[in-house]
Amino acid sequence: MSLLHNNIRALEMVSDLDTKALISVFGTKEPVSGCVTASVWNTDTERRKESLLEKNPAGVVAGLKILTLLSGAQAAVIVTAAEGVESELEAAARQVNLTLSLEKRADLVKFEHRNDLLVTLDEAASYAACLCGEEPGLLIAVDDGELQELPPETLVTDLVPVACKAVLTDHRFYAPAELTGLSLGDLGSRSGVLRVLTEKDCLVDLAKKEISILREKSCGRCTFCREGLFQHSVIAEDLSSGRLKPPALDLARELADAMFVSTSCSLGEDAGNPMASLLRAFPQEVEAHARRRECPAGICTAFITFYIDPAKCLGSHDCVRSCPVHAIDVKPGFTSMIDSFDCIKCGSCLTACTQSAIVRVSGKARIPDRPARLKDSSMEETQVESTPEKREGGSRRKRSFARPAGASAPVKSEAPVAPPSDPVSEAVPTPAPSVAPMPTRPASQPLVTRASGSKRKHSYAKPIKPE
Ligand code: SF4
Ligand code: SF4
Ligand code: SF4
């Protein structure tokens, strides 16, 4: 096991061997007219295996030298975006008399290397390890842990907990049942990174993110890669927002199959993985989002509702101050209320409330539809700093009970409020105000019917000015 250590011995051995001796060890390779080009898989968006250029430059260069001799290639190319690896690689290439160039880019464009022998960096380093008589392993990392070299027969379940919800690798979700008895060799992870997912992870949300990453990486030349990823992104978005029409799932499956066979590089082959593996291995997760309109992990905000439990609310208004979109209604003397229409589900109020009065639910829930009277009357005069005028556009709500700091709260009392005492007004009795009669619609005035599209059926014609 020497992939992660600088294999200087292989570098020394390869300079002493000729092509014949190498063929006797490795067999022949199909001749190529171009170069031997090494990189990580385009689909490997984490690019953890690029660290081989830093850890084992001698092994990578020795492997490339072996492959050039076996295939008859004139030179070798390494496609990488890694920085600070040039000097070590060039020194190693000089030692074995290899013409090596570095292509500084993140992705290998297959069309530009159509005459080349394409290999991965770990594959090149494996040739060097074999030359030294070693059995190369597979490079694997679990979550953000270090990359380690493990025998191919290692069981995946030895690395990840059996009780996890899923394992994500190469943009594909695996259910724990699929991993039982599966070895790393059978899994064949290209990136080597296994992401362990728990019940707190929403697979639909993760599929959406994976598709988005792949869309950014796709060069767009292949129709099925470009359009398939676009369609999958729309379907995943609809799934996470509860707008999905079930026939779209069949389309997603068919597209994933077509993407696998009709694209030109590894990215296109894996582009359908997020959606295809989600539909295949996690139908219950899809069902919950598509039919029951709930997110089991409580991640998809379209299915989440925040409300205030009137039994716990003390009217302190800490939540109101924390709300970035002023979605919490305040009425003096009453518990606060969240306006679900305006709420952007950021969760700020949840952390601001010290009484744990704010509840976050996913799926259907019974939500109080009106505020309750506060038990503690001292809270009634509490002022809030939030201003409804700051509300961003798009709100259909016409009014809020919240008022600016410093403004007096309306006092709602049973008895009429006495005016301030004034010696003049006390001496002279105030005449009763004359009340102008309200304008009324004459019987001859017809009701005006609204144009179609409005939910309101009728509206009165223009108000009539009083005589
Ligand atoms: S499969 Fe995708 S990334 Fe690869 S060449 Fe085709 S369009 Fe580009
Ligand atoms: S912070 Fe909590 S207790 Fe205070 S008004 Fe908001 S929900 Fe009620
Ligand atoms: S979740 Fe965010 S937007 Fe919604 S009421 Fe609470 S603070 Fe306001």
Q: Quote the ligand 1 centre to 145 CA distance (angstroms).
A: 30
- In the sheet with 100-104, reading across from the earlier edge strand, the strands are 100-104, 76-80, 36-39, 117-120
For 207-217, what is each residue's pLDDT tens digit?
Answer: 999 999 999 98
Q: Is the separation of the CB atoms in 306 and 359 below 8 Å?
A: yes
pLDDT band at 374 (very low <50, low <70, confident <90, very high): confident
Q: Is the CB of 345 under 6 A from ligand 3?
A: yes
Kindly give the interhelix angle for 57-71 and 86-95, rounded to the nearest 10 degrees. Answer: 50
Ligand 1 atom having least distance to the Cα of 110: 5
Angle formed at CA 203 by CA 198 and CA 208, multiple of 5 degrees: 140
Average predicted confidence (pLDDT) for the chain: 81
Looking at residue 111, its pLDDT comes to: 76
Q: Is the CB of 402 under 6 A from ligand 3?
A: no
Q: Is the CB of 307 under 6 A from ligand 3?
A: no
Distance, in Å, from the CA atom of 198 to the CA atom of 167, rounded to the nearest integer, reads 9
Q: Quote the ligand 2 centre to 388 CA distance (angstroms).
A: 18
pLDDT band at 378 (very low <50, low <70, confident <90, very high): low
Give φ, ψ of 342 to 5 degrees: -85, -25
pLDDT band at 1 (very low <50, low <70, confident <90, very high): low
Bridge partners (DSSP) listed for residue 305? 361
Q: Is the CB of 338 under 6 A from ligand 3?
A: yes
Q: What is the mean predicted confidence (pLDDT) over 21-42?
A: 88
| 334 vs 386 pLDDT, higher one | 334
Ligand 1 atom having least distance to the Cα of 268: 1
Looking at residue 107, its pLDDT comes to: 79
Q: Quote the ligand 2 centre to 270 CA distance (angstroms).
A: 48
Q: Quote the ligand 2 centre to 365 CA distance (angstroms).
A: 20
pLDDT band at 418 (very low <50, low <70, confident <90, very high): very low
Distance, in Å, from the CA atom of 52 to the CA atom of 212, rounded to the nearest integer, reads 27
Distance, in Å, from the CA atom of 16 to the CA atom of 423, rounded to the nearest integer, reads 116
Looking at residue 247, its pLDDT comes to: 86
Looking at residue 396, its pLDDT comes to: 46
Q: Which residues of 198-223 are buried (b: 16+ CB within 10 A; e: fewer)?
A: eeebbbbbbbbebbbebbebbbeebe
Structure-derived torsion over alpha carbons of residues 86, 87, 89, 95, reported in degrees to the nearest 10: 150
Q: What is the mean predicted confidence (pLDDT) over 81-88?
A: 90
For 281-334, what is each residue's pLDDT tens digit?
Answer: 999 999 999 888 889 998 998 888 899 998 888 888 899 999 999 999 888 888
Q: Identify the residue whose C-alpha is closest to ligand 3 atom 6.
A: 349
Bridge partners (DSSP) listed for residue 359? 307
Q: Is the CB of 225 under 6 A from ligand 1?
A: yes
Percent of the residues in the chain that have a pLDDT greater than 70, as a whole number = 80
Q: Is the separation of the CB atoms in 63 and 93 below 8 Å?
A: no
Q: Quote the ligand 2 centre to 312 CA distance (angstroms).
A: 8
Nearest to 287 by CA among 252, 246, 319, 258: 246
Q: Is the CB of 384 under 6 A from ligand 2?
A: no
User: Which ligand gives the minimal distance to the CA of 262?
Assistant: 1
Q: What is the mean predicted confidence (pLDDT) over 220-239?
A: 93
Percent of the residues in the chain that have a pLDDT greater than 90, as a whole number = 47
Q: What is the mean predicted confidence (pLDDT) over 221-243?
A: 93
Q: What is the mean predicted confidence (pLDDT) over 201-206?
A: 95
Looking at residue 419, its pLDDT comes to: 39
Measured on CA atoms in the order 443, 444, 450, 452, is the torsion positive or negative? positive
Q: Identify the residue whose C-alpha is closest to ligand 2 atom 6.
A: 319
Q: Measured over all CA atoms, what is the biggest interatomic distance in the chain, rounded to whole angstroms?
A: 124
Asked whether the predicted pLDDT for residue 431 surpasses 60, the reply is no
Q: Quote the ligand 3 centre to 255 CA distance (angstroms).
A: 38
pLDDT band at 87 (very low <50, low <70, confident <90, very high): very high
Q: Quote the ligand 2 centre to 300 CA distance (angstroms).
A: 25
Looking at residue 427, its pLDDT comes to: 37
Q: Identify the residue whose C-alpha is closest to ligand 1 atom 8.
A: 219
For 139-170, what is each residue's pLDDT tens digit?
Answer: 999 999 999 999 999 999 999 988 899 999 99
pLDDT band at 64 (very low <50, low <70, confident <90, very high): very high
Distance, in Å, from the CA atom of 278 to the CA atom of 201, rounded to the nearest integer, reads 13
Q: Which long-range contacts (CB under 8 A, 24 or more apart) does 285-292 make?
A: 285/202, 285/203, 285/204, 286/204, 286/239, 286/249, 289/204, 289/239, 289/240, 289/242, 289/244, 290/239, 290/244, 290/246, 290/249, 291/246, 292/363
Q: Which residues of 55-86 are buried (b: 16+ CB within 10 A; e: fewer)?
A: ebbbbbbbbbbbbbbbbebebbbbbbebeebb
Asked whether the predicted pLDDT for residue 455 surpasses 60, the reply is no
pLDDT band at 269 (very low <50, low <70, confident <90, very high): confident
Asked whether the predicted pLDDT for residue 425 surpasses 60, the reply is no
Ligand 3 atom having least distance to the Cα of 326: 8
Q: What is the mean predicted confidence (pLDDT) over 453-458?
A: 42
pLDDT band at 255 (very low <50, low <70, confident <90, very high): very high
What is the β-pairing status of strands 36-39 and 337-338?
unpaired
User: Which ligand gives the minimal distance to the CA of 318?
Assistant: 2
Ligand 3 atom having least distance to the Cα of 328: 5
Ligand 2 atom having least distance to the Cα of 308: 7
Looking at residue 397, its pLDDT comes to: 47
Please tell me the least confidently modeled range out of 83-87, 186-190, 222-226, 367-371: 367-371
